[in-house]
Structure 1
Amino acid sequence: LGYTGASSYSRAGSVSYGTDYLSMKWDDVNCASSGYLSIAQCSYSTIIDSGCVNSNSYDATVYCYTTRIWNSSPFPGMVRLQDGTYSNEGRVEVYCNGQWGTICNDGFDSTDANTLCKQLGYDGYNSFDHTSRINNTIQPIWSTNMYSTISHRCFGSGNSCPSASVTNCSQLNDVILTCRDISSSSRQTVTQSTCSGLTSDSVSNGAIILSRNNLPSPSYYYGTIRVYYNGWGNICDDYFYGYTEANVICHQLGYTGASSYSRAGQTSYGTDHLSMKWDDVNCASSSYLSIAQCTYSTVIDSGCVNSNSYDATVYCYTTRIWNSNPYD
């Protein structure tokens, strides 16, 4: 169901959730590990005990914690299904660069579908399509022509996170997927830790990219600033951020300098939804070539913690730094 775990469990006759009037389908459900991701990984019997046959008061109930599993220490290459009718279906989203994004259906095949379903704890896939039938908000597209083999159980087994969103695909081509439990003889033993660590973001701390309307692109010369520091995030614009720091950011992006700088709340670049990574950025010289040469704090001012309207923005000149007085 997408939650971190169970706060409590009981039976219908002992709680106030009301009474279902459906027949029993499973009995003797037994999961070998609490780290499993799907009930399809567990054993069960379709022979129902006589006490359960005659009374819905024995229906199993659960009370989950409210924290979503993907909000609790997500890792690069983590996968989830969103906006489906049931928990085994939906739009495929993968976590890369500190943000959830989608997978383009270009080159996507049954082997890829099986890999993703196995990562989610299912034995295989039932069907896959693209999102013309499921509405999608604007998100980065993190993968196209996904690569899998029949032995893969994780997105990260054959794929890595890109530094920026795929640009040759549209949200209408986002993969949607339905997973299923095929056979008790092929039950998956994956947990979250099985796929953790296989994929790494293909960027290093101090990398910079600009975004507009929550979509980053290496081709942008103006927008909201994203910095990579153990994941992508924003820079708080308070105190030290000014023309000196804006010039350095533009230099790092390959431009001659900054035409202007501001904050997200005062521009029309849209709103990012990432957390702040740096505050109090201070560059001793506007001729620096990388923000890594400047000082910064990872302790974020309370005003920036609570609002993306303070995300630092920049508008660079369009002249490339290597076209302005290059030297031997």
Structure 2
Amino acid sequence: MKGLGALSISLPVAGSAVSSFAPVRLVDGPGRCAGRVEVFHNDKWGTVCDDNWDFTDAKVVCRQLDCGMVVSAPRRARFGEGQGPIWLNDVHCLGTEAALSECRTKGWGVHGCEHGEDASVVCSGSGISDLGNLRLVNGSDPCSGRVEVFHDQRWGGICTDGWDLAEARVVCQQLGCGVAHSAEGSAQFGTGDGLIWLDAVECTGTEGALFECKVKFWGAESCKSRGHAGVMYLDLGSSEALRLVNGPHRCAGRVEVFHSHQWGTVCDDGWDLNDAAVVCRQLGCGTAMSAPGLSGFGEGSGPIWLDGVSCLGTEATLTECSFKPWGHHACNHVEDASVVCSGSGIASIPKLRLVGGLGKCAGRVEVFHNNNWGTVCDDSWDLSDAAVVCRQLGCGVALSAPSSAQFGWGTGPIWLDDVSCTGKETDFFECPAKMWGSHNCHHGEDAGVVCSGERIESSSTEKAGDTGG
């Protein structure tokens, strides 16, 4: 960056843009489009504090570096702690600025932060979003095996150095496989062609996807063990396993059991809260809230493994209950049994709003989960989904279901993806979707709704986004 010190940079007024332009870079990531944010000022590179750091700020950085769209805006020194000055704090960008230094801040060097709060950015040009392409191979069932990610047109493994149950939990959650039973190494699932893409993965276990964890990327020559990480899904002794499918996350959905190397469903004959209680307990999902029958979360496929299930409600696993022999039934998939557990959060998330329109009945769809408002990805988004939103908000019928962030890019988490409503549901959270936070989207794909109950020309109505949650 020779010669950068010769740039003329004006001194800022607190609360205003810090300069017309200052160079920016991303450091300690896998390439120039992901890493810790650093800006050049007063002949020195310095970092940015993560106070109020969000997608809108990261969007400006990605644009300034010509790195595509925002994948995430990590905080807490995700790519390591910087050194030297902390130049910026309380960055507030509109998202339209050409450079980070055009955004409002406290002013150069004014902060109460430390380097453990350094802000970071991951842009689509980094390739980190490739971690959405994740699979398990060489296992005995779809939710066990060697973990592989797809990058540079090739599948590769993850180094076992530091690999433990926290990382395995995130993989299982991202793949919709429920609870991780163990974090395995090469001895269990082999090494494939030996290629290792990722090293030093560090997850807390609460992340919704692997790319949210700390990790060394693409070509992990530092892998000391040369071992390949794997995952074992929670099994029930022998080959049976249990999961909930097509719900908004792992604690609500159609009940499926794994038997004889194949996933299958449970018939709803006699299905009740006692049976559901056992499923919720077994999956670590709290207590049973409801036990829907008649394929409440959609019809399954493949075998119907269990029928006539009769639990006392105190059993530790579903296979301890009485039922007909495996595969013996007089049912079809219209009768598939389902469960909603308290751990799903459905009871605590009746919160839904439309943001960015000119009234409460048009705008970007946002849902409240885990104490945060977040958006909905537009994958598969259509009028059936919009119809449920309009009905729930008392806004009449759906006029359109705009995609591609027609009402502006949201910030924070993308909570739901692949929403698939029939249009008849009374509650948006009854619709099938991927697990909370599991997606392969960015905010440029935020879903929207326009309802008939209040025309978007009604400018006298306060924006939904201004009402809070």
More RCO (CA 8 Å, sep 6+) = 1
Whether the TM-score (by the shorter chain) exceeds 0.5 is: no
Normalising by structure 1, what TM-score? Answer: 0.35
Normalising by structure 2, what TM-score? Answer: 0.26
